Structure 1
Amino acid sequence: MTQKMMALPINNVKLLDDITNIIFDRALKRQNYTHIYAQMCAGLINDSKFNNLIATNTQITFQKVLLKKCHDVFYSNYQEELNKLKDTMKNVNMAPKKCLSGVLNNFLFDFQKRSICNCRFIGELFKNGAFPEKYILKSIGDLGKEKNDNNYELQMHCLCIILQSVGLILSKTSYDLNKKINKLVSSMENHGMSSTLKCLIKKLKIMNSKGWMDEGNCF
């Protein structure tokens, strides 16, 4: 598949964006193949011939477009789509409140699922050399910030997913994983935390204590 993608005549920004959209959406929808899509992306990013197909008068690259799509799932799309949904719901005056509540719940469920899948993809992209370390560290830092909103638990869940994926690599750098894991463990004292998130944090603690060697078997 990677060779076929490299052979495509991508000579403008719109076509590049369309191709990236296809890869990104499939990677998030097909969780069992996330690592394969990440490998393909790494191949495309590191292939100079593929990147040279894009118009030479722009600094836009496949990696930059992909980075933005991953970023938007966290920071842009949620609020934009939620506002659109709320506006639509305001205009549906005759719809029962129970029905509207169901629509909102479905939206939140889909967003949570997409966010978690996005984190898995980001982790795999980093592991395959498609994303730089500074991007991963920024993602970890942003997710680790405490926020007083309804998405805080999802935020912690996403942080756990990324650490699960990249912990082994980061453990071999100067990054202080112990500090991050200890902060997660201390957050378990929050009585409102779900059992699912507590389980994720406990497993991360075990993985960290074992040098991340049991990464594939812990989850």
Structure 2
Amino acid sequence: MENLALQKCNEANAKLQLDIIDFNTVGFEAVFYVAESLVEVCSVFGPLSEELAKKKKYAKLCTAVGGILNGFAPSDFQLAAIQALKIDTEEEMATVVKLIYVKAIADPISSPIYAKMCLALSTKEVPSASDPAVITNFRKVLLLECQKRFEEDYFSRQDTKDEKEEIESAEKETEKKDFEIGFKKDPLNRRRSLGNIRFIGQLIKLRILSEKILHQCILRLLSQRDDEDYLEALCVLLITTGKNMESAKTPQMSVTETNREIMNSYFTTLEAIVKNQTVSERILSMIQEVIDLRKCGWSITAAHRV
């Protein structure tokens, strides 16, 4: 029985690590609930081993987080339940971050709520897994997850220039089509990438992530001016954070070097892209919408009248 319980716990954790999670069904909570229940059965026959006791606590935490993520409406945010979570190790903290992250990406419309959830947990601290004498915090673990996912989406891909050269060097039309299909981002991955960008934007708005992170993201997305996935992500990020970016100065900036001046340089590049028309009409329209939105003080209502 103990071996079966361990097996179910390991299977549940494997699904979590592979992002095989569907919060729209009872599947996720059921997997961890089964694992937790089996551990409970084992405890009837005597004290649990140290390994199984840890698995039980881990499964209980995952089930609790899953229940919270599935159990609130946007107008009824359960901050108290989130803050009451018992998180004692870096592994548990990383798991909570991953669960919230996956849910935020799957439900981007509600990403402001999941960002508030992270804010509620932002003061949590646990001993570092590598050195228990060192304390790590929720913000650091969250930053590592953001960085990992952003790099997977926008650093691991081949540069657009190289892609175009591959396509143009293809001798046959069928080969060109094969290259184009291969370089085109999968719709599901594209949806996840945009969900990730929206969530990062919401975390920046709440000051959970720094503006330095925002500028690094923008510069990376602007580095591939012919890549429509990059440009679409950039538009989403600017729409999410633009108003906040230009409403305050950061401690690292001098009195004369404001966020508005930095944003001016970004928008000069965007205006050049619109002028050169090197991308599709859909992306050009999206970029123009962001430019108009900024001209109207980031007022969506006013921008629609332009």
Q: Deviations over 1:159-178 (max 9, x none)?
A: 11111111111112312212
Specify which structure has the higher proportion of helix: 1
1:14-33 → structure 2 map (5 Å cutoff): 14-33=91-110
Q: Measure how far apart 1:182 and its partner are.
A: 2.0
CA RMSD of aligned residues (A): 2.9
Instruction: Choose which of 48, 66, 69 in structure 1 pairs with 2:142.
Output: 66
Distance in 2 (alpha carbons) for counterparts of 1:147 and 1:210: 25
Q: 1:198 aligns with which of 280, 284, 293?
A: 284
Q: 1:76 to 1:111 in 2, by over 3 A?
A: same
- Judged with a 3 Å threshold, the aligned counterparts in structure 2 of structure 1 residues 40 and 214 are, in CA distance, closer, same or farther, namely same
Amino acid at match of 2:295: S
Identify which of structures 1 and 2 has the higher relative contact order when contacts are C-alpha pairs closer than 8 Å and 6+ apart.
1
Kindly indicate whether the alpha-carbon contact (under 8 Å) linking 2:274 and 2:288 is maintained by their aligned counterparts in 1.
Answer: no
Identity among equivalent positions (%) equals: 23
When residues 133 and 198 of structure 1 are mapped into structure 2, their CA distance, relative to the original with a 3 A threshold, is: same
CA distance in 1 between counterparts of 2:148 and 2:100 reads 15
Per-residue deviation, 1:214: 2.9
Structure 1 stretches of at least 4 aligned residues deviating more than 6 Å after TM superposition: 77-82, 103-107
2:85 aligned counterpart, secondary structure: coil
* CA shift digits 1:68-127 (9 cap, x unpaired): 222222213678799xxxxxxxxxxxxxxxxx99x9689622221111111111111111
In the other structure, the counterpart of 2:219 is: 141
1:5 deviation in Å? 2.1
Q: 1:123 aligns with which of 186, 201, 211?
A: 201
Q: How many residues align?
A: 192
Secondary structure of the corresponding residue to residue 76 of structure 1: helix
Distance 2:112 2:95 in 1: 21
Q: TM-score, normalised by structure 2?
A: 0.56
What is the CA-CA distance between 1:187 and the residue it aligns to? 1.0
Alpha-carbon separation, structure 2, partners of 1:77 and 1:178: 26
Shift in Å, 1:40: 1.3
CA distance in 1, matches of 2:101, 2:301: 25
Separation in 2, partners of 1:30, 1:10 = 24
**Aligned partners of 1:211 and 1:12: how far apart in 2?**
44
Larger Rg: 2
Aligned counterparts of 1:211 and 1:65: Cα–Cα separation in 2: 34
Determine the C-alpha separation between the residues in 2 that align with 1:78 and 1:104.
16
* Deviation for aligned residue 1:21: 0.8
SS at match of 1:193: coil
* Distance in 2 (alpha carbons) for counterparts of 1:78 and 1:157: 12
User: CA separation in 2, counterparts of 1:144 and 1:106?
Assistant: 18
CA-CA distance at 1:209 after TM superposition: 1.0
Q: CA 1:217–1:123 in structure 2 vs 1: closer, same or farther (change >3 Å)?
A: farther
Task: Name the CA distance, whole Å, in 2 between partners of 1:68 and 1:184.
Answer: 29
1:161 corresponds to 2:261? no
User: So what's the TM-score if we normalise by structure 1?
Assistant: 0.76
The residue number in structure 1 matching 2:152 is 76
Further displaced range: 67-76 or 24-33: 67-76
Unaligned segments of structure 1, at least 5 residues: 83-99
Residue 136 of structure 2 aligns to a residue in which SS?
coil
1:112 aligns with 2:190: yes
The 1:6–1:35 alpha-carbon spacing in structure 2 relative to 1, beyond 3 Å, is: same
